[in-house]
A and B are shown apart, each in its own frame.
Chain A
Amino acid sequence: MDSTIAQKTWELENNILAVEAPDPSSDFIFYYDEVAQAMSLKAKPWANDPHFFKRVKISALALLKMVIHARSGGTIEVMGLMIGKTDGDAIIVMDAFALPVEGTETRVNAQADAYEYMVDYSQTNKQAGRLENVVGWYHSHPGYGCWLSGIDVSTQMLNQQFQEPFLAVVIDPTRTVSSGKVDIGAFRTYPEGYKPTDDPISEYQTIPLNKIEDFGVHCKQYYALNISYFKSSLDCHLLDLLWNKYWVNTLSSSPLLGNGDYVAGQLSDLAEKLEQAENHLTHSRIGPLGTSRKKIPGRITSW
């Protein structure tokens, strides 16, 4: 057949080309091995090691859906669930779907409202041939970064008790659009009272002043996982062709125009932080100890 010859030429070309292009055998990741999954669910290797899961692999489809849903919420937090499976110490996210709940940061278990929707959706999915189970939830933090708030931490700890294996993913659609790269983070919480043995070095991100207390109190109670993405060979091919069409959008998009008010908000937040820092500095001038430069002439003159 023509198509097999074309595929073989493509495969041959792929071996010569850069390592990045996946060859068709990597589509194996799409295969759902029910027996192996059931076995690993019984064995529960994550029950003994709180740091068991180290990596997350997100499919192209899941990422696209999550980012679009997060962006469509505007400044309101939205949430949804992720479907996938586990593979050793990695959680694989194959798909995601949105939940019809209103996101407010003050509700502990917004998921409870959507249980009926979840069950219906999972059932219809299984009928349509998607056999994986729910492996996590995602929600958006529009404009204030990817981290787990206090409510999120308690929700995730509850989830990790009853719905293991479970993963929490946070997306910031505003920062994604303004910086041009996807702002996403995957987290798992430690159980109560567990002290992590080493301090993981995380990338610094600016957090607005009104949220920074919430961030600081809980930042040690969870750890971030490495995220990598995968796509099928057909996806690869289609996305390459798609580039021919949307290169115009790449050139014509301007984060200045799109996110003007976000930038203004960030600047005013920075101004507040500077003010606070200044107040702190003048405070410490009066205090007994300190290493500020202004102290030295004060001490020398007292001699």
Chain B
Amino acid sequence: MASSSSSGLTFKLHPLVIVNISDHYTRVKSQLNLPPSLTSTSSAATSNNNNNNSNGGENNQQKPPRVYGCVIGVQRGRTVEIFNSFELIYDPSTRSLDRSFLEKKQELYKKVFPHFYVLGWYSTGSNAQESDMHFHKALMDINESPLYVLLNPAINPAQKDLPVTIYESELHVIDGVPQLIFVRSSYTIETVEAERISVDHVAHLKPSGGSAATQLAAQLTGIHSAIKMLNSRIRVVHQYLVGMQKGDIPCESSLLRQVSSLLRRLPAIESEKFQDDLLMEYKDTLLITYLAMFTNCSSTMNELVDKFNTAYDRHSRRGGRTAFI
């Protein structure tokens, strides 16, 4: 069912969407699987919350519920950028989508983010299913070609890739009948500077507050690990090329072309203009550091002078100078 997409759209996904979906899923899951100390209140709690699970939630160990929601963002030309998401109410047994809720939420989000509009929907699970097509079709009257973002909430420690896939729908003729099927598309992660910092902050649970030295250390460790990552990736490419040279691995010309275009970019940073700009920025930073050091020094000097005066001033007032310096 999932072949690669041919629509030519590039997708950019913001980490906020991923954290949003994961939070929605965790919330719904924890409302059902109660810790054993609170089993007495379980009946009251489960009857109070409206969730999307049609099981009713009597037993603790059950299939984790699927959550549904809407993704919003902007589409500029061929680039689709997904910024944010919110929850939706959908009953999979009756296959009914709560329209008024969707419209209400859309209105609220329009007030705060006037540029964003509905781009598609999301759900959790391991694979795209046939039943998802109904939801997809229901959203088609808002956006004629919606996206389907699927997050796989199963935590697999061996996994190296993000368990998020984006599907588009395409009209294919199968057995003479034109049907809509899901096709997978690739995407990139896009972050704004502030987003990256806060994601970094939470990901590594850096100490908040604490002295400036620990903060600096934490930030430098971040940059250090980024450089390590770059280094390891370059090593991988290098090993691959060496293998190709020896003949162990069959030559793949498209890959070789990409590597050579990458290498051809390097000499661009040796030009004179670049050196000038770099030196100017470098001098600016050095000046600012110098200024900060100066201010620090003068404040320490001031403190020293104050202490000096407190220690020796009293004697000189009473009579005669005490021998100092």
| B192 proximal to A (CB < 8 A) | yes
Per-residue interface assignment for chain A, residues 188 to 202, with 1 indicating a CB less than 8 Å from any chain B CB and 0 otherwise: 000000000000000
Cα(A59)–Cα(B198), bound, Å: 11
* CB atoms of B112 and A7 under 8 A apart: no
CB-CB nearest in chain A for B309 = A291
Known: A180-B219, A241-B160. A30 touches B281 (CB 8 A): no
* CB atoms of A256 and B281 under 8 A apart: yes
CB-CB nearest in chain B for A59 = B23
* CB atoms of A124 and B104 under 8 A apart: yes
* CB atoms of A128 and B89 under 8 A apart: yes
Per-residue interface assignment for chain B, residues 290 to 317, with 1 indicating a CB less than 8 Å from any chain A CB and 0 otherwise: 0100010000000001100110010010
Residues of A within 8 A of B192 (CB): 68, 71
Cα(A117)–Cα(B49), bound, Å: 22
Q: Of A6, A25, A129, which one neighbours B156 at CB under 8 angstroms?
A: A6
Cα(A45)–Cα(B217), bound, Å: 40
Per-residue interface assignment for chain A, residues 223 to 254, with 1 indicating a CB less than 8 Å from any chain B CB and 0 otherwise: 00011110111110111111111111111010
Instruction: Count residues on chain A whose CB falls below 8 Å from chain B CBs.
Output: 83
Known: A59-B23, A184-B208, A238-B22. A67 touches B198 (CB 8 A): yes
* CB atoms of B44 and A35 under 8 A apart: yes
* CB atoms of B205 and A20 under 8 A apart: yes
Cα(A3)–Cα(B29), bound, Å: 15
Residues of B within 8 A of A51 (CB): none
Residues of B within 8 A of A28 (CB): 30, 35
Known: A10-B157, A176-B194. A238 touches B222 (CB 8 A): no
CB-CB nearest in chain A for B206 = A181
| B80 proximal to A (CB < 8 A) | no
* CB atoms of A33 and B38 under 8 A apart: yes
* CB atoms of A238 and B321 under 8 A apart: no
Chain A: minimal CB distance from B106 (Å): 10
| B88 proximal to A (CB < 8 A) | yes
Q: Of A3, A181, A247, which one neighbours B230 at CB under 8 angstroms?
A: A247
Chain B: minimal CB distance from A228 (Å): 7
* CB atoms of B27 and A64 under 8 A apart: no
CB-CB nearest in chain B for A254 = B281
In the complex, the number of residue pairs spanning A and B with C-beta atoms less than 8 Å apart equals 229
Residues of B within 8 A of A97 (CB): 112
Q: Of A70, A117, A227, which one neighbours B194 at CB under 8 angstroms?
A: A70
| A203 proximal to B (CB < 8 A) | yes
* CB atoms of B101 and A263 under 8 A apart: no
Cα(A124)–Cα(B226), bound, Å: 41
Known: A177-B193, A263-B288. A239 touches B49 (CB 8 A): no
| B171 proximal to A (CB < 8 A) | no
For window 98-121 of A, CB contacts with B under 8 Å fall at 98-100, 117, 120-121
Known: A35-B41, A235-B23, A250-B222. A67 touches B197 (CB 8 A): yes
Q: Of B25, B153, B288, B309, which one neighbours A267 at CB under 8 angstroms?
A: B288
For window 111-142 of B, CB contacts with A under 8 Å fall at 111-113
* CB atoms of B203 and A240 under 8 A apart: yes
The interface stretch among B3-11, B12-20, B243-251, B265-273 is B12-20
Residues of A within 8 A of B226 (CB): 247-248, 250-251
Cα(A70)–Cα(B15), bound, Å: 17
Cα(A240)–Cα(B159), bound, Å: 11
Residues of A within 8 A of B23 (CB): 59-61, 95, 232, 235
* CB atoms of B157 and A244 under 8 A apart: no
Per-residue interface assignment for chain A, residues 250 to 274, with 1 indicating a CB less than 8 Å from any chain B CB and 0 otherwise: 1101001010000100010010000
Q: Of B31, B194, B313, which one neighbours A67 at CB under 8 angstroms?
A: B194
Known: A33-B45, A128-B88. A182 touches B201 (CB 8 A): yes
Cα(A242)–Cα(B16), bound, Å: 11
Q: Of B86, B208, B223, B284, which one neighbours A229 at CB under 8 angstroms?
A: B208
| A31 proximal to B (CB < 8 A) | yes
| A173 proximal to B (CB < 8 A) | yes
Residues of A within 8 A of B26 (CB): 27, 30, 232-235
Residues of A within 8 A of B199 (CB): 64, 239, 242, 246
* CB atoms of B157 and A13 under 8 A apart: yes
* CB atoms of A238 and B18 under 8 A apart: yes
Per-residue interface assignment for chain B, residues 178 to 203, with 1 indicating a CB less than 8 Å from any chain A CB and 0 otherwise: 00000000001101111111111111
Residues of A within 8 A of B156 (CB): 3, 6, 10
| A9 proximal to B (CB < 8 A) | yes
Q: List 13 A-B contacts (CB under 8 A).
A: A33-B38, A33-B41, A64-B15, A64-B16, A127-B89, A128-B89, A176-B194, A176-B197, A226-B209, A234-B153, A234-B155, A239-B199, A241-B162
Other than the given A64-B195, A267-B291, 11 more pairs (CB < 8 A) read A27-B30, A28-B30, A35-B41, A60-B19, A129-B51, A238-B162, A238-B163, A246-B189, A250-B196, A250-B200, A253-B193
Closest 9 CB pairs of A and B: A71-B194, A239-B203, A128-B87, A100-B111, A3-B154, A232-B26, A30-B30, A250-B226, A60-B202
